[in-house]
Structure 1
Amino acid sequence: MKYIEEFQDPELAQRLLDDIHATVTRPWALMEVCGGQTHSIIRHGIDQLLPDQVELIHGPGCPVCVTPLEVIDKALEIASRPGVIFCSFGDMLRVPGSNRDLFQVRSEGGDVRVVYSPLDALRIAQENPDREVVFFGIGFETTAPPNAMTVYQARKLGIRNFSLLVSHVRVPPAIEAIMQSPDCRVQGFLAAGHVCSVMGIDEYPDLTERFQVPVVVTGFEPLDILEGIRRAVRQLERGEHTVDNAYARVVRPEGNPAAKTMLADVFEVTDRSWRGIGTIPASGWRLSERYREFDAEHRFSVTGIATEEPDECRSGEVLQGLLKPNECAAFGTTCTPRTPLGATMVSSEGACAAYYLYRRLGGTTAPLEASPVG
């Protein structure tokens, strides 16, 4: 298959669904790790077309959503300072901090700019040598290599007025934390294909053996996701627990060696706090000692900021797969994309945003037609 449309073919989708219905004999709970997969599932009604025995649990796979509140507050503090140009991808601007967001900082006179690449921020730093330029570097393993390359280039070119506010997280430790939770119901995982395209699949066999769960690497189109579910259900029905690459057109077992080499040079593994979840050991990256001068937290002395999550936001339970978005009392009422309580309602990959965007407002079990937010 060459074209995206082929991965949305309804006849092929029905064949995969028929196979899943014919295979399943008992209840199984699968977690899709990536927020992009969550949006595809809700948009196309995949969860509602599956047998009742197959439940999809939405995992903490949205990078914006898991960026901790204290890091958001650090971003707000830095962006508010005179002489700073703060650069970010657009979906971070409405993520609420303790009492405001980056849009509000911009309305108050802060120089907050939306960019489409970290290299755009580096160019801005070159063009404004008398200003401090900060790029908000968040995300999973997919966005870490270009952010690492930007810091590498800044050092190579001698651009000293550029720094990176880092909040990068890693998927395998998050899976481990989920499986170690006493409330965990997950029996298998759909792993994010774009993450594995960078890092490969070497870290997953240990997880499948330790926790006796299958991990199926898959993509984001409807047929990708249905094939991933089909393979996971077949493993579970057979009592198997292996790593299965269902996204071989993109993912090689070894990943991307050049990207991994860049990550190993610029970053080092560290404990990282996840919004609504807490600290997960060895689940993130920070700049290595060689590149520490480009660390915005140290440059602007904001390492001591600490915060507490608002009680009314239950996004932590959503991110852990303990609560569906429409089971939250605030969903669609006091919490909407225009008045969000948490990042899961703001982010383009957030589960709450997916449920709101595609009108999954109630407990209906019939597939819904996708409709835009008015």
Structure 2
Amino acid sequence: MNNAAVWDTDETALRACPYPAYAALRADGPVHRVDRTDAAPVWYVVGHAEARRALTDPRLVRDVTRLPEEGRPVEPLAALGLDRSMLGVDPPDHTRLRGLVSAAFTVRRVALLRTRIREITDGLLDAVADRSGVDLLDVFARPLPAIVICELLGVPVTDRAVFLGWIRDLFDHAGPRASVRAAGRALAAYLGDLVAAKRASPDQGLISALLAARDERHRLTDAELLSTVTLLLVAGLETTVHLIGAATVALLRHPDQVATLRTEPDLWPRAVEELLRYDGPTEMAVARWATTDLILGGVPVPAGGEVMVVLSAANHDPALTDDPDRLDIHRRPVPHVAFGHGVHHCLGAPLARLEAEIALRTLFERFPQLRLAVPAGDLRLVPNLSLRSLTALPVTLT
């Protein structure tokens, strides 16, 4: 059995750049049992092929209610209000829930949003065009996806400052647990009131469409409805915010790649794929549990064992692509797992890709002198193993 040393996953250097640590694990095997000081062991999957297999293995489940009641783990998504969303269940419930919202996120449907995303992008950058320095997260990377997902769902855009604060608290693993619980309750209450308002006065947003599925065809329970709305709002924000932030940092640290994009702007879609692979926003897939004893990557995992697929490590596997630690926007697209794989592949991936492409291209074209306002080593990430989220992104625009 492969074993990894106990390492402090909140340590600043590791959070800033975990790839060498993951490479050291991967050099000793694609799957490792990692012993934790304050919890049961967890099995890390760091190889690309093994990650794709684990993400599609029906013996590894998301829904903890499928495990024996004795010794059943606490569902970590419950505090976020996501335990009855498609993120927290398995087929056939997952298939039913995903089918209800998938029409809103097809590549064709998302492409129709291109003009509106450009308008929002231009408006946000117009607002800071005369400023020399800004926190790019606050003025651009966070409000852009917030406005887009609010309009898609039918959430009042004017409320975004309120629920953005709650969402930040939900993902702040360094903060007190009481703050996480309070933020979860506040967000649930807000969305519960919003759902009630949409039931009384429907509109063209996705929340009203989900209500129609709940009230007319009885295909959603109340818990599933609220959990699904929470997922769409939170996931529609967090993934894209941190994709734009991390991609901006990566490009600023590789000016040769920016220069290439200025002369070959048609490469932007490929650049987004490479940026997703190189330093994607989601470090680890949501936890899965073994329903039976199994062998994963040659390593025994007992029934009830917790398995974490490390997406960031899988995307830097030399078996996936040559020289994986180098950013290369000319790289031939590879089947990275930045958005997961299998039935839980991120439903909003087409939207996140489009927002990132428009946001990054417009940003770098409008501000050719864009640069970090602090040394790259001074940037800090929130101590959160799920997302690679910057605390701030100070830049100089001109």
Task: Provide TM-score, normalisation by structure 2.
Answer: 0.28
Larger strand fraction of residues: 1
Task: Provide TM-score, normalisation by structure 1.
Answer: 0.29
The higher-RCO structure (CA 8 Å, 6+ apart) is 2
